[in-house]
Amino acid sequence: MTDDSRRVIVDIKGVAKHYGDGEARVDALRNVDLRVHAGEVVALLGPSGSGKTTLLNIIGCIIDPSEGQVSLDGEMVYDGKWLRGDLRRLRLDKIGFIFQAHNLLPFLNATDNVALVLQLAGKTPAQAQARAQELLDYLEVGHRARAMPALLSGGEAQRVAIARALANSPRIILADEPTAALDSKRAGIVMDLLRKLSSEQDACIIAVTHDEKILDRFDRLFHLRDGRLENDKGDTP
């Protein structure tokens, strides 16, 4: 596509994941194809054990596929083997993670939780602090920059976690049950924020969720059943 706003950011082809062999073999994913474009917010739905988190972890370069290809932001990163030697660097460069539990480090304040990721990526402490403050201001929690995680509300902590995920301007944001710990109002606010981010940051967002109250916030819904992916809303690009 010539329109960069519709550029394919995540391109998964024929991805499978199995554990064990013979009669003990378990197929967690079977021949999964998935394409997600810049600016899209999509959901992975399905019962426990259907393969949602496995697929998210493969896209996040955390676990190896058993077969298939994985292309991220125009770069083929897996084709029978990982094509990058340093997967940690790959994740820092391309991917932001948001979890159900915000996983903020309890001994660092909000700013330092975000700045730490930037320093790991090579920014100076001053650069990291400035970028962290910029992100917290953007997410409207800048006034809580010096607060420790234990003193943040659930919604504030999740916004700090989102700021941390955005620290290195990733094109791919992976969210695992990002609203499960929030009430309906805060869940809606977080999802509206993620939609805004996907558009303004030219990123794609893939979320695993069981939260029915936020499903109308997604561009497309995919159901995983027995390791197979089905598109239930919108046409496959």
Confidence at residue 4, expressed as pLDDT on a 0 to 100 scale? 46
Confidence at residue 234, expressed as pLDDT on a 0 to 100 scale? 46
pTM (two decimals): 0.84
* Sheet bearing 75-79, strands edge to edge: 26-37, 8-19, 67-72, 75-79
Confidence at residue 79, expressed as pLDDT on a 0 to 100 scale? 95
Confidence at residue 230, expressed as pLDDT on a 0 to 100 scale? 80
* 4-105+169-231: CATH architecture: 3-Layer(aba) Sandwich (3.40)
**Structural domain spans, the chain:** 4-105+169-231
Confidence at residue 237, expressed as pLDDT on a 0 to 100 scale? 41
Confidence at residue 197, expressed as pLDDT on a 0 to 100 scale? 82
In a 3-state reduction of DSSP, which class is residue 232? Answer: coil
pLDDT tens, position by position, for the chain (237 residues)?
334 447 999 999 999 999 888 778 888 999 999 999 999 999 999 888 788 889 999 999 999 999 999 999 999 999 999 998 889 888 988 899 888 777 899 999 999 999 998 998 889 999 999 999 999 998 889 999 999 999 998 888 888 998 898 888 889 999 988 877 777 887 888 788 888 888 888 889 999 988 888 888 899 999 998 889 886 554 444
Confidence at residue 77, expressed as pLDDT on a 0 to 100 scale? 95
> In 10 A of CB 161, how many CB atoms?
28
Beta strand spans in the chain (E):
8-19, 26-37, 41-45, 67-72, 75-79, 95-99, 172-176, 204-208, 220-225, 228-231
